[in-house]
Every structure is written in C-alpha cells, then in structure tokens.
Structure 1
Amino acid sequence: MAEFLKGMILSVLSEKCYNEFFVRYNFLDEPCLKATLSKGLGIGIIAGSILVKVPQILKIVANKSAEGINIYGVYLELFAITANFAYSYIMNFPFSAWGEGTFLAIQTAIIASLVLHYGGSPGKATVFLATYVGLVSAVVSGYVPKDVLWNMQAVNVPIIVIAKSIQVLTNYKNGSTGQLSAVTCLLLFGGSIARIFTSIQETGDSIIIITYCVSTIANGALVLQLFWYWNVVKTTKNVNKKKKKRI
C-alpha cells in the first residue's frame, strides 16, 4: 500500500520534491512548492477541460441554433488550440502543461461542425470533421518539421486576437452574446490565467507563455461582454414585461 501511494504521489511530484516533503519534512521548499502547485494546476485544468465546452455544445443542440457564434472565429480558435498542443507534444513538454489542448480541440471541432450543421450545411460539417482528423494525424506524426510547428505556434498570438475580436465584434453588432455559454467562457478565462503560471514553471518556452497571456486578455474581453449584455438583456426583458402589463 505504501509503495502504491508513493507511486501516486510521484506521478505529481519529482523524486527530489518527494524527498523534501516526505523524507526531510521540508514543506517550505520554494522550488518544490512552485513545481507542485504548477503540476496540480495543470492536472486540474486538464480535468476541467474534459467538460469545459460541453455547456456550449449542449446549449447549441438544445436550441438547435448556433446564432451569434461566428464560424470563422471558431476556425481560428481551433487552429490556435491545435497548433499549441501539436507543438507541445512534439517538443515533449509534460502532458500536464498542455493536455487540455487535446480535449479543447475535440470540443471546438464539434462546435464548428454544429455551427455548420445548424447553419444549413450538414454535408460540410461531416467533411470538415473528416478533414480535421486527417490534418491533426499528419501534424502530430512527427513528419512535420519542428520549425514549422514553432511558426504555427508563433502565429497563434495574432490568430487568438483575430479570432476573439471577430466574436467580440459579432456580439457588439448583435447587441448580445447569442448562444455563447457563460460557464464555458468563464472556465476558459480562468484556465488561461492558470496556464501562464504553469507554462513558466513547466516549459519555460517564451512563445507558449506569450500565447497564454494574449489568450487571457482575449478571453477576458468576452467575459466582460457576457456580464455587460447579461444586464442589458435583463433590463430589456423587465421593460417588455412592464409594457405587457400596461397593455
């Protein structure tokens, strides 16, 4: 039993940190505290990412509508997520530093296909999914040069800005956030903040760190819109209710 517990702990802690905490009982070792916090956050983010976009998917399916969701913004976001996890995978970064990208990519691809499907193009939705799976298989196969993957990751910075800006402008023009899920947006915002810290600790890769900094700002803009238009919609509904009562 003791060996099993040690094995479980070592899946999160390094041998050095295990010795510091459980042999020397030095629970205030700063490097180990940071490393443990980073690893724990990474695992938590990955666990949360398994369902992070499910509320968005369920909302689209329940309403049988993808109104307010810009397909081009979804495409760009999917490219950014895919480039991030493919680059991290090829660079052999710890899974805890990028694992959520796998689940986010799957869910974002589903959202893109749903937007196409409910937009009146079910055939395009099927072709899109098949094409995406083929492209991802090729990218993570190891045949794509690392320089190309690095450039894809570097392009993520402007792509994230453009993708989120498209959605922000769409929300502004519509005067609402449409079928965007508040839960999904808040989880993505919180996850991107945590990823700045874990990326510094576990990868030290400047392009990854910059990407998450930009992602945090972009996701923050959507969260602000969610709260802003939430109040606007509530006010409008209350005004309409008062008008109906007068009539």
Structure 2
Amino acid sequence: MAEILKGLILSVLSEKCYNEYFNEYNFLDVPCFKATLSKGLGIGIIVGSILVKVPQILKILGSKSAEGINIYGVYLELFAITANFAYSYVMNFPFSAWGEGTFLAIQTAIIGALVLHYGGAPVKATIFLATYVGLVSALVGGYTPKNVLWMMQAVNIPIILVAKSIQIITNYKNGSTGQLSAITCLLLFGGSIARIFTSIQETGDSIIILTYCITTIANGALVLQLFWYWNVDKTIKNINKKKKKNT
C-alpha cells in the first residue's frame, strides 16, 4: 500500500522533491513548490478540459442551432489547438504540460461538425471529421518533420488572434454572444492563464509560452464581451417571449 501511495505521489512530485518533503521534511523548498504547483495545475487543467467545451456542445444540441458561432473561427481555433498538442507530443514535453489539447481538439472538432450540420451541411460535417482524424494521424504518427510542426506552432500566434478576432467581430456585429457558452469561455480563460505558468516551469519553450500569453488576452476579450452583452441577450429573450404570447 505504501508503494502504491508513493507511486501516486511521484506522479506529481519529482524524486528530488519527494525526498525534500518526505525524507528531509523541507516544506519550504521554493523550486519544489513551483514544480509541484505547476504539475498540479497541469493535471487539474487536463481533468477540467475533459468537459470544458461540453456546455457549448450541449447548448448547440439543446437549441438545435449554432447561431452566432463563426465556423471559420472554429477552424482556426482547431488548427491552433492541434498544432500545439502535436508539436508538444513530438517534442516529448510532459503530458501535464499539454494533455488538455487532445480533449479540447476532440470537443472543438465536434463543435465544428455541429456548426456545419445545423448550418444545413450534414455531409460536409462528416467529411470534416474524417479529414481531421486523418490529418492528426499524419502529424503525430511520425510522418511530419519537426521543423514543419515548429512552423505550425509558430504561426499559431497570428492564427489565434485571427480566430478569436473573427468571433469577437461576429459578436459585435450581432450585438450578442449568441450560442456561446459562458462556462466554456470562462474555463478556457482560466486555463490559458494557468498554462503560462506551467509552460514556463515544464517546457521553457518560448514559442509555447508566447502562444499561451496571446491566447489569454484573446480569451479575456471574449469573456469581457460575455459580460457586456449579458443583459442584451436577456432583453432579446424577453422580447421574443412577449412576441410568442401575442401571436
């Protein structure tokens, strides 16, 4: 039982930090505190990512509409997520530093398919999913050179800005955030902030760190729009209810 417990602890702590905490009883070791905090945050983000976009998916399914969600923004976001986890996987970074990318990619691909489906193109939705699975297999299966993966990660920065800007502009034009899920946006914002710290601690890769800084700014802009248009969305719903009663 003791060995099992130690194994679980070592999934979060390094051997050095395990020794500092449990043999030397040195609980004030700053490097170990940072490393442990980073690992814990990373695992927490991965666990949270399993369901982070589920509220968005359920909102689309419940309303049978993807109104207000720009498909081109979804495409670009999916590219950014995929490039990030494919690059990190091939570079052998710790899973705790990028693992949520796999779950976010799956959920974003589903959202993309739903937008196409409810936009009147169910065949395109099926082709889109099949094509995406094939591309991911090529990226992580050793068929893509590392320099190409690095370039994909590097162009993530402008792509993230464009992807989020498309959605931000769409919201502005509509005067509403439409079917965007507040829970999903808030979780993505919080996760991207935490990822700046974990990337510094666990990868030290400047391009990854910069990517998460840009992602945080972009996600923050969407969160601000959610709060700004919160009352607008409520007013629209109330007007629609009154119209239905009068007809």
The TM-score, its normalising length taken from structure 2, stands at 0.96
Change (3 A) 1:241 1:122: closer
Distance (whole Å) between structure 2 residues aligned to residue 62 and residue 235 of structure 1: 20
2:234 match? 234
2:25 match? 25
Q: What is the RMSD computed on CA atoms of the aligned residues? A: 1.7
- Give the fraction of aligned pairs with identical amino acids, expressed as a percent: 86
Q: What are structure 1's unaligned runs of at least 5 residues?
A: none
**1:60-99 deviations in Å (ceiling 9; x for gaps):** 0000000000000000000000000000000000000000
Shift of 1:236: 5.6
2:197 match? 197
1:50 match? 50
Change (3 A) 1:69 1:5: same
SS in 2 for 1:142: coil
AA of the residue aligned to 1:40: G
1:98 aligns with 2:86: no
1:88 aligns with 2:123: no
Distance (whole Å) between structure 2 residues aligned to residue 223 and residue 131 of structure 1: 31
Distance (whole Å) between structure 1 residues aligned to residue 124 and residue 240 of structure 2: 39
Shift of 1:234: 3.4
Distance (whole Å) between structure 2 residues aligned to residue 52 and residue 207 of structure 1: 24
SS in 1 for 2:67: coil
1:137 match? 137
1:167 match? 167
Shift of 1:143: 1.9
Shift of 1:180: 0.2
Q: What are structure 2's unaligned runs of at least 5 residues?
A: none
Distance (whole Å) between structure 1 residues aligned to residue 123 and residue 82 of structure 2: 23
Shift of 1:241: 8.7
1:179 aligns with 2:179: yes
1:114 match? 114
Distance (whole Å) between structure 2 residues aligned to residue 152 and residue 73 of structure 1: 17
Distance (whole Å) between structure 2 residues aligned to residue 133 and residue 237 of structure 1: 38
The count of corresponding residues between Structure 1 and Structure 2 is 245
**1:128-169 deviations in Å (ceiling 9; x for gaps):** 000000000001011211110000000000000000000000
Whether the 8 Å contact between 2:85 and 2:102 is mirrored in structure 1 is: yes
AA of the residue aligned to 2:10: L
Distance (whole Å) between structure 2 residues aligned to residue 242 and residue 87 of structure 1: 52
2:222 match? 222
Distance (whole Å) between structure 1 residues aligned to residue 241 and residue 106 of structure 2: 41
AA of the residue aligned to 1:11: S
AA of the residue aligned to 1:120: G
2:150 match? 150
1:73 match? 73
User: Which aligned runs of 4 or more in structure 1 are off by greater than 4 angstroms?
Assistant: 235-244
The TM-score, its normalising length taken from structure 1, stands at 0.96
1:9 aligns with 2:42: no
Change (3 A) 1:4 1:167: same
